[in-house]
Amino acid sequence: MNWKGVIPAITTSFAEDLRVDHNSVTKHCRWLLDNGCSGIVALGSLGEGATLSFDEALKHALDEERQRSAR
């Protein structure tokens, strides 16, 4: 694991129905990575990770990993 560079903790975007807004999260991750961040810390900056189901958290993490891997 490489912990060098800028690795921001990000907030989780929610839609009006209180579901994770995966499209918004994907766009935000892509923007961060395209603008020089070397990684992303998800599901923890404001405690929202504790409010998500396992499946929601897993999908969120996989969405972010896909963005990182696509670089």
Whether the predicted pLDDT of 10 surpasses 90: no
* Residue % of the chain over a pLDDT of 90: 23
Whether the predicted pLDDT of 48 surpasses 80: no
The reported pTM is 0.71
* Residue % of the chain over a pLDDT of 70: 93
Q: What is the mean pLDDT of residues 12-37?
A: 90
Helix then strand count (H, E) for the chain reads 2, 0
- Which residues have CB under 8 Å from 56's CB, separation 6+? 19, 20
Counting the structural domains of the chain, the total is 1
Average pLDDT value over all residues in the chain: 83
How many other C-beta atoms are found inside a 10 Å radius of the C-beta of residue 41? 11
Instruction: Give the single-character DSSP code of 51.
Output: G
**DSSP SS3 for 53:** coil
Domain residues for the domain of 50 are 1-71
How many other C-beta atoms are found inside a 10 Å radius of the C-beta of residue 57? 18
